[in-house]
Amino acid sequence: MTPGVPQVGPPRMTTLELRARVDERNATFDLELDGGDVLAVLGPNGAGKSTLLSLIAGLLTPDHGRIKLGDSVVTDTEAGIFVPPHARGVAMLSQQALLFPHMTVTANVAYGPRRQGRSRSAARNMARQWLDAVGAGHLADRRPGELSGGQAQRIAIARALAIEPSLLLLDEPMAALDVAAAPSVRRLLRDLLHTDQRTAVIVTHDLLDALAIANKVIVVEGGRIIESGTLRSVLAAPRSDFAARMAGMNLLTGVVGQPGAIRTSWGGTIFGTGGPAPGNSAVAMFSPAAVSVHLEPPHASPRNVLRTTIAELQVHGTAVRVCGTAHPDGGPALFADVTAAAVADLGLIPGQEVYFAIKAMEVRIHPALSAAGPTDRRRVSTRRKNTP
């Protein structure tokens, strides 16, 4: 579908500069977007992704910080500037469509234009155009209660875009949709964002969203941006648990002790290839398929043997993913992909203690973004101005 996007004014491609700290949620963010950038914010639940959006939208004031949209400073704690949400021109779309239940679909979409001072009929016309643009023209006279989840979300998109936002914030817009509705809404968002070169920030759990819509990505964990860059660069060399799990890789962080080996935060040593000079922070990455599972510690060639307890077994076709538990002394959960036959032969069951063995040749060591101390491996600052 190529939506005929209503041309009301020139498309606004706003830059975003944000540096903010929220003490209560122990969150610190620092990021910059160019005009037309679509940034995907990835990360586990409770990582602070929605906090980031609330800060930009003006629904939350930071304890310290400065947020600049285009040429205007919308939040500056030092200068005492705070532009309220209704004056920011930032539209927000969340998991639920949140269409006003007491208004028709058209009145919902016309709400923003009306607030911008357009006449009743002008706002109505704009609403019709946007409804057509999202393929929901035939729903114009319905009430929100009579719509499916996918229809409601399309209309919410039309409502958000009808104010010609300088920045569009999307908070997991596909998460509450059923499998049938999500792909078409995703496609719609991609078309609307790309044809118009809009600046947008999309929070998501789903790698697919990021792949389809975003050109940049940050990974947020524990209230910090722990990775940033293009999607390709983050997935090709993930430096966080989260990104690695997304890319399906095992990941161990630490400091390089001797060349080609890192000492992990919990005191183990992982041997691999590559990596920075001794003393630097680094991550060791290996594929779950490179991990073999043993009931007794193997004494043959593999350099890396890690004891773990099986948390669960996931069946993927003929392969079985053996998920270890996170170690109490700080070691992250690791995964091994083995054949179903191997699981049967070894008699693997959850709760069992096993040994994961990985050949050093299979472990690639990457430099970490910056100083990640062994005690605080998550606090990796990521102010990177020149994202490739």
Half-sphere exposure of 376 (CA within 13 A, CB side): 8
Instruction: Tell me: does residue 112 bind other proteins (CB under 8 A).
Output: yes
- In this chain, which stretch among 91-99, 203-211, 294-302, 373-381 interacts with other proteins, using CB under 8 A? 91-99
Q: Total residues at the site for other proteins (CB under 8 A)?
A: 31
DSSP string, 301-339: S-SEEEEEEEEEEEEETTEEEEEEPPPTTSPPP-EEEEE
Q: Which residue has the tokens 């996931």?
A: 314
Judged by CB under 8 A, which stretch of 20-28, 83-91, 326-334, 348-356 contacts other proteins?
83-91
88 binds other proteins (CB under 8 A): yes
Is residue 100 a contact point for other proteins (CB under 8 A)?
Answer: yes
To the nearest whole angstrom, how small is the minimum distance from the Cβ of residue 78 to other proteins? Answer: 22
Q: Is 63 in the site for other proteins (CB under 8 A)?
A: no
Q: Minimum Å distance from CB 111 to other proteins? A: 5
Specify the residue, 60 or 343, whose C-beta has the smaller distance to other proteins. Answer: 60
Q: Which of 22, 42, 99, 262 binds other proteins (CB under 8 A)?
A: 99
53 in Cβ contact with 220 (< 8 Å): no
- Per-residue three-class SS string for 56-95: HHCCCCCCEEEEEECCEEEEECCCCEECCHHHCCEEEECC
Q: Among the residues of the chain, which ranges form H helices?
A: 49-57, 105-115, 120-133, 149-161, 182-196, 207-213, 231-236, 241-247, 340-346
Interactions with other proteins, residue window 2-61 (CB under 8 A): 57-59
Contact between 85 and other proteins per CB under 8 A? yes
Contact call for residue 90 and other proteins (CB under 8 A): yes
The answer for residues whose C-beta is within 8 angstroms of residue 343's C-beta and 6 or more apart is 313, 320, 322
Nearer CB in complex with other proteins: 88/186:
88
Which residues, 143 to 202, sit near other proteins by CB under 8 A? 144-145, 152, 159-160, 163, 169
- Interaction site with other proteins (CB under 8 A): 57-59, 84-92, 94, 96-102, 111-112, 115-116, 144-145, 152, 159-160, 163, 169
